[in-house]
Amino acid sequence: MECVFGMVGKGFALVVADSSAVHSILVHKSNEDKIMILDSHKLMGASGEPGDRAQFTEYIQKNVALYQFRNGIPLTTAAAANFTRGELATALRKSPYSVNIILAGYDKETGPSLYYIDYIATLHKVDKAAFGYGSYFSLSMMDRHYRPDMSLDEAIDLVDKCIMEIRSRLVIAPPNFVIKIVDQDGARESSKKSSPSPSPTVTIPLTATATATATNSSGEVRQWCENDVDDDGEFDADLAFPNHILSRSLVFLKS
């Protein structure tokens, strides 16, 4: 259930990726960084087979650094994208990499840019892109709300909308996301988005009485005056009230 997407705004580009490492029905870790910082002004977000993703992105990162050491100047974003595309094309018919890439960068002459590179070495410069199951929802959200002149705050708001849509639509949605941006100040991590923690169970001492009102799915309001307890001798609202209740308000009164 990988989700990687990115966009270009006014003076910046950003890449968002989930941080889950999964295999079949198992989740191995929830802090996997799928966005590689290639150099001071380039980011590479990748999705695909974990081994191919890790090895290929590291291979590109080291070769971008090697070029700068040999020549004294860094690759432009377009040159890095074409080099990446060439390496995928070379490997395609002998030992292909199952990896899809979103490459973002910032150049002094041309500003921010974003490149779409898929596993069969298709390369295209775009304003927004997405890979993985999350692309079905993030692309539609970006089609609706994206503007080329968006500020960074507006882009982060759009990212939040995309993540919210992914979490509400996917059967098994990634819990955590990482956002990295690149602008004239360089490439860096912007923030991490985690799923909200579940609300704690409401409990009150046995010596108190709880008066509660709740509304079910039909809009019907029901009222209880309970003094029910769980195995620990405390009143447990989640045990006392049926699962079909959508909302409830509890008023605690001293006995």
pLDDT tens across 135-173, in order?
Answer: 999 999 999 999 999 999 999 999 999 999 999 988 888
Domain locations along the chain? 3-194, 203-253
Looking at residue 236, its pLDDT comes to 57
3-state secondary structure of 253: strand
213, β-bridge pairs? 223, 249
Q: Which DSSP symbol is given to 190?
A: E
Looking at residue 234, its pLDDT comes to 56
* Selection from 175, 182, 248 nearest residue 216 by Cα: 248
Q: What is the mean pLDDT of residues 5-29?
A: 90
Q: Is the pLDDT of residue 126 over 60?
A: yes
Q: What is the mean pLDDT of residues 45-58?
A: 94
Looking at residue 230, its pLDDT comes to 58
How many Cα atoms sit within 13 Å of 136 on the Cβ side? 9
3-state secondary structure of 240: helix
Average pLDDT for the chain: 83
Q: How many helices (H) and strands (E) does the chain have?
A: 5, 17
Looking at residue 173, its pLDDT comes to 80
Q: Which of 58-72, 94-108, 109-123, 189-203 has the lowest mean pLDDT?
A: 189-203
Torsion 240-241-247-251 (CA) sign? negative
CB proximity list for 249: less than 8 A, separation 6 or greater: 212, 213, 214
Note every long-range contact of 215-219, with CB atoms under 8 Å and residues 24 or more positions apart, other chains counting: 215/245, 215/246, 215/247, 215/248, 216/244, 216/245, 216/246, 217/244, 217/246
Spatial separation of the C-alpha atoms in residues 42 and 1, rounded to whole Å: 25
Looking at residue 239, its pLDDT comes to 55
Name the residue with higher pLDDT: 224 or 138: 138
Spatial separation of the C-alpha atoms in residues 108 and 137, rounded to whole Å: 33
Q: How confident is the model at residue 219 (pLDDT cuts 50, 70, 90)?
A: low
- Residue where the block lists tokens 């950003």: 14
Domain 3-194 sits in CATH at: 3.60.20.10
Q: How confident is the model at residue 240 (pLDDT cuts 50, 70, 90)?
A: low
Looking at residue 28, its pLDDT comes to 86
Q: Is the pLDDT of residue 129 over 70?
A: yes
Q: What is the mean pLDDT of residues 75-95?
A: 95
Q: Please, what is the angle between helix 50-71 and helix 77-92, to 10°?
A: 130
Name the residue with higher pLDDT: 207 or 88: 88
CB proximity list for 113: less than 8 A, separation 6 or greater: 8, 13, 77, 78, 104, 105, 106, 107, 125
Give the predicted TM-score (pTM) of the model: 0.74
- 194-213 pLDDT, tens digit per residue, is 665 554 444 545 444 445 55
Q: Is the pLDDT of residue 22 over 70?
A: yes
Looking at residue 45, its pLDDT comes to 96
Spatial separation of the C-alpha atoms in residues 133 and 1, rounded to whole Å: 6
